[in-house]
Structure 1
Amino acid sequence: MVDGISHNGSEKSNVVYVELVDKQGIVVAQRKLFVDEVGASGDIEIDQNIAQGDYTLRSYTKYMLNEQEPVIYEKNIPIFVQQIGNTVSPDQIPVTQYLQGFEENMGKAVSGRPSIKFFPEGGHLVKGLPGTMGLEVLDEKGNGLALKGFIKDSKENIIETFESLEFGLGSVGFTPLPGVQYHASVILNGIEEKFPLPEALPNGYVLSLKNRKDHVLVQVSSTTQNGLEGTLLIGHLRGDMIFKRIGNANDNAAYATKIYTKELQDGVAQFTLFTPNGEPISERLIFIDNPENDTHLTISSPTTTYGMREKVELNMVLVDGKGAPLNGDFSMGIVSKNGSKGTASTNNIKSWLLLDSDLGGTIQNPDYFFADDAKERKFLLDALMLTHGWRRFVWKDMLSEKVDKTPDYAPEKGIMITGKTTRFGNPNKAKETVATLNLYDWPDLINSKQETNAQGAFSFGPFYFNDSIEATVEAYDSVPKWAYKRKNLSVLVDEQSPKLDSELGKTKRTDRQTIELSQEYLRDEYLKKVTDFNYDPKKVTRLDEVIVKEKKRMREEVLRKNNPRITNGPFTMTVYNDSIPGSEAMSAMDLVGRLPRVQVAGAYPNQYVNIPSMSMSTLFAWTGPLFLVDGVPTDQTFIQSMRANEVSYIDLVTGSDAAIFGSRGSNGVIALYTNDLYDPNEQNAEVYPGIVNFKIPGFYKAREFYKPNYIKESPEKPDYRTTLFWKPEITLDEEGKSAIDFFTGDKTGEYWVKVEGITEDGRPVNGFYDLAVVESN
């Protein structure tokens, strides 16, 4: 975790949330990690009852959620489910079995009319001034297309040719003339298709930037003589102002200047041109790649070919461009190449920090632009810059001081226990009290006391502990004369885990080609599971006809025994109480807020629900979802008074699945199913006034990665690991060196050594090395 500007260790937050999310947006697993300096490590064990399909791994801090549209790291994780049969070999499992759960990604190639968008450099074409346009060609599914075309005038004269390459990106330059109309022409299936170009302004400004290796050439033009006098051009890079120039009378209608990159950081720079009145009129993004910031990672070994169960010794050296040693925070993994599409990575720390995070996480394959120094990649990187940007609304908000400087979420330094105290049975009536926190599972009992503010709010912490511990918060009022009245209070504790309101990003999903390329990997994993069963049958469930009939019921079956699912359609989503950390302290509305695309605002007990995608499109007068409790319709007020510990699970029904409820379900249906704690005649009864007990989830402690030593042991069980080694923290010495050793297994094939990390001065590092394991002689 680093500062978004300097890329040095962040001084704000020490708490990171890592989540595994299904394609419906429901969190199926969460880990809360403590970051002491830069890095933290953890693991997520996949539930054996998980459904096959695409999942997203994402990580963020609470402080990042202050952004209206937070940009967080996301990575697509396809999960395959294998059943170990008595008579089935890995080669007999059909590909179609592994396509289940990914059907929505398996659409046929689109052959219709593509979408061609043109993005004028700086924001506008201006008649009479040379201009450049970025272009993006996509099919109906958003996949980039490579094609060639022409810029033509109204008389069908060819003015310029253009071509889109990888990801459908390209650029074309020409000078639009007054009184002439232009369009793009493309031949598709022997037929000419025409596409409009952005309308050129009769007068205005053009901002042009060219990357010239050691410098950036900046050119500003105007259609008016002396039109640049008083204009302001500002360049920003990762929070620093790298350029500022005020136009003067000597500029006439154009000026050009050079910005040398020797002293600049790497990353996306934003240049904005302002009129003399302070109005932003042109913007251009450009990627700065300063060779002075280069790092050189060398990984070596005595040989690149090893036998089975043989010891491997790797040496790693990291230096800068001048050969000086570097240090920082690094990790290493050695994984099989099977199913990897023939590339070393789909995303890495360098492409995320320097490119994708600045552009909102929307780049399909950001690593492509950093794979090598080929001219085509640099050309496409600049085309990518041309198709992004123009964030004029940001400047307008800043200049008008509309940016909210008070964050909703404070940086987390550790585990905080927050909440408020109210009059007993009246959560709307806040009460100033004295609150006491007791933590029971520490080596010593923690007892902390504080006075709440006038709104009854309390805040204890920060604390650091692993696992989960039991806690209570007690409250008393010193004003009343009688002792029983001093504790006539309610204590409401805030939930521990945050909830992202935003949709999942545009993470690339698993396609058929990826699944087909993964067959060798899946065969390896199947073989490993069979071996694990033969040597340790308690840890692996082997299925056959008899065992299938007697298999243990899953959690869903148990919970739904008396409360079946409302519908079985694709638009029914479920959140389970026991899968939400810290749900003991939540309200039922907090639990509802964990459903994808559902927004819950307000504070208990005045929380209300909105489903934006539904309420904005419906024609019915009813503006909220239909609520059901154990199948009985109720209103939102009733749900507001319920606590999460009374709820077993919640279904959200939207789309065509809600049609069975008629107009009442036009804005979605939220169905709550209660457990044994629920009593409709004694809603939200508090047995003990003045005290609440709950469990606090602690920080997750990563398990140690298994590392056999075949010099000291030679087990009979075959070793079919596809990940031979993982070390989340690699320490370099004063010379930038480190030595790593591990043992191969019994699986032959090619492996990748992957290293990623960041130097102490904020330079991202990634590197690869090839190894092979062959059968021993």
Structure 2
Amino acid sequence: TSDLKGNVEGPGHYFQATDKAWKDLDNLLLTQGWVAYTWKDVFNPPVPQYAAESQFTVQGKVTNVFNKGVPETGIMLTSIRPLIIKDTLTRKDGSFTFNDLPLSDTLSFFIQAKNKNNKSFNVGLEVDEFKPPVYTSANLRLLPWYVNTDTLLLKYVSTIAEQKQEELKLQKGTNVLSEVVITAKKIIKGSRNLNGAGNADIILDEKDMAHYRNLTLYELLVKRFKYIYTTRVNGIAIYKYMQRRIVFVIDGVPASPPESYMENITAEDIKGIEIMDSFNYIYPTYITKFEVAWKIQPYIFILEITTRSGHGAFAYMKNIPGTYWYRPMLFTSSKQFYSPKYTVKSPITLTDLRSTIHWAPNIVTDKEGKAFVSFYSADKVGSYSVIMEGSDMNGNIGRQTGTITIK
């Protein structure tokens, strides 16, 4: 229903093999799914915005100073984890492709263009970065769950209540321990924080950096701290946070002027950021060591930044021609629907009160159109709904509903 306007109520009704359902489906498509057609688009269909990907590939192009493709240029792709070393040549238009790359949750590739002497040279190297579509939430009116709710939701709420009662039964005859609250500091691996790793007022770790992904350091700070602004003194940019000057320390070295690398360092280049705001974290450690560089300014705000390379700000002062750091979007494998496994010797101590007892999204039938599915039922007696939906290779769709009774 993604191509239909509005919200379709009861979509399962249109899958029924009845004359009324087909008429209702026709009316639905005429009203909510009607679109205009032009012969130009029919005979010259537009290229899809997102091409189908049968494998993980890296594609790009090498250009010269006139922005024209450079053919037969050597391209090398390397990765440390997992260890990958590949090379290829550009095509006539300067484009290149690396195929059959492994799937991993976090990848980082260093891509380098080389001339005939196997040396880097001054060319432009661009990689086709994936740009996800902008998500726009549906402007739907939110109602409390108990208003005009259905029997499925009411059943789910009652099941949760019963599960809590079962947990209370298990506690009878046992000693319930008091609540133990575990507190821990975020530790940035490789941090050169003078107070010790984790000793800061605010800490942003790798999980936070993954949330900001391709944002530059400046964009990251502005998004995380709304009151950051820039002023200029003698033509040099000074970054401030709530009237306090921000002092950048990258891999243990004060970085100045910060403007030269604020747009080159991205969140993907950073392991973590430790922010020293209180007096106890700034004095005497930072003020004592860097008092000459900072001229003992009392109103400062220190950002200790730990990069993945560990080479400080100079590694990000400028992009090296003919090279490219490519960090694709994180890959997440599909999760399997939970299904209990019982053995003869395993003791059953908790009642199974699952409301959804089985879900199989990818059942393939045999030559006769048959398939076999097995699952364990829940312990709660009653009637359970069975919904089956599918399609064949010709685009025909089908739907069937039924019930099973557990006694």
TM over 0.5: yes
How do 1:505-516 residues align onto structure 2 when only pairs under 5 Å count?
Answer: 505=138, 511-512=144-145, 513=147
Conservation of the 8 A alpha-carbon contact between 1:464 and 1:699: no
Change in CA separation of 1:467 and 1:358 when aligned onto 2, cut-off 3 Å: closer
CA distance in 1, matches of 2:128, 2:177: 44
Residues 390/721 of structure 1: CA separation in 2 closer, same or farther (3 Å cut): closer
Instruction: Measure, in 1, the Cα distance between the counterparts of 2:223 and 2:337.
Output: 48
Q: Give the aligned CA root-mean-square deviation in angstroms.
A: 5.5
Deviation per residue, 1:254-296 (Å, 9 max, x gap): xxxxxxxxxxxxxxxxxxxxxxxxxxxxxxxxxxxxxxxxxxx
8 Å CA contact 2:78–2:85 kept in 1: the answer is yes
Matches within 5 A, 1:221-232: none
Aligned residue for 2:306, secondary structure, equals: coil
Q: Determine the C-alpha separation between the residues in 1 that align with 2:81 and 2:339.
A: 32
- TM-aligned CA deviation for residue 763 of structure 1: 1.5
Q: 1:487 to 1:461 in 2, by over 3 A?
A: same
Match of 2:12, SS state, is: helix
Matches within 5 A, 1:554-633: 561-562=201-202, 576-579=208-211, 583=213, 586=214, 588=216, 631-633=228-230
Which one of 355, 369, 373 corresponds to residue 722 of structure 1? 355
Distance of 2:321 and 2:87 partners within structure 1: 19
Matched with 1:434 is: 74
- What is the aligned counterpart of 1:459 among 90, 93, 97? 97
**Residues 79 and 109 of structure 2 are in contact (CA less than 8 Å); yes or no, is this contact kept in structure 1?**
yes
Q: Give the distance between the partners of 1:434 and 1:445, measured in 2 at CA.
A: 16
Q: Match for 2:387: what amino acid?
A: K
> Any conservation in 2 of the 1:707–1:725 contact (CA below 8 Å)?
yes
2:377 aligns with one of 744, 757, 770: 744
- 1:477 paired with 2:115, answer yes
**Hey, what's the Cα distance between the residues in 2 that align with 1:365 and 1:514?**
14
- Whichever structure has more strand as a proportion of its residues is 1
Q: Which amino acid aligns with 1:645?
A: E
* Structure 2 letter corresponding to 1:676: T
Please tell me whether the aligned partners of residues 753 and 769 of structure 1 are also in contact (alpha carbons under 8 angstroms). yes
Give the partner amino acid of 2:77.
L
State the partner residue of 2:306.
676
State the identity %: 21
Q: Against the structure 1 CA distance between its residues 688 and 746, is the aligned structure 2 distance closer, same or farther, given a 3 Å change threshold?
A: farther
Asked whether the equivalents of residues 563 and 630 of structure 1 are also in contact (C-alpha less than 8 Å), the reply is no
User: Are the counterparts in 2 of residues 467 and 700 from structure 1 also a CA contact under 8 Å?
Assistant: yes
Aligned partner of 1:434: which letter?
A: G
Unpaired runs of 5+ residues, structure 1, are 1-355, 536-541, 565-574, 593-624, 650-672
Q: 1:643 aligns with which of 247, 252, 266?
A: 266
The count of residues paired between Structure 1 and Structure 2 equals 325
Q: Aligned partners of 1:706, 1:578: CA distance in 2, in Å?
A: 27
Unaligned runs of 5+ in 2: 171-175, 188-197, 232-236, 238-258, 274-302
Counterpart of 1:740, as a letter, is: V
Q: Deviations over 1:533-569 (max 9, x none)?
A: 999xxxxxx998763xx566899xx9x95499xxxxx
* Correspondence list, 1:201-280, <5 A: none
> CA–CA distance in 1 between the matches of 2:30 and 2:63?
55
In 1, distance between residues paired with 2:97 and 2:134? 24
Between the aligned partners of 2:177 and 2:31, the Cα distance in structure 1 is 52
Amino acid at match of 2:86: N
Once residues 698 and 531 of structure 1 are traced to their aligned partners in structure 2, the CA distance between those partners, rounded to angstroms, is 39
CA distance in 2, matches of 1:742, 1:476: 57
1:435 is displaced (CA, Å) by: 1.0
CA distance in 2, matches of 1:534, 1:492: 63
Residue pair 1:416, 1:463 contacting (<8 A) in 2 also: yes
Does the 8 Å CA contact 2:60/2:125 hold for their aligned counterparts?
A: yes
Deviation per CA, 1:84-143, whole angstroms, max 9, x where unpaired?
Answer: xxxxxxxxxxxxxxxxxxxxxxxxxxxxxxxxxxxxxxxxxxxxxxxxxxxxxxxxxxxx
CA deviations over 1:52-81 (Å, ceiling 9, x no partner): xxxxxxxxxxxxxxxxxxxxxxxxxxxxxx
> TM-score, normalized by length of structure 2?
0.56
Counterpart in 1 of 2:286? none
Structure 1 position 578, deviation (Å) = 1.0
Q: Which residue does 2:31 correspond to in 1?
A: 387
**Contact 1:467–1:699 (8 Å) recurs in 2:** yes
Residue 712 (structure 1) shift: 2.9
- Do 2:339 and 2:376's aligned partners in 1 also have CA atoms closer than 8 Å? yes
Q: CA deviation at 1:500?
A: 0.9
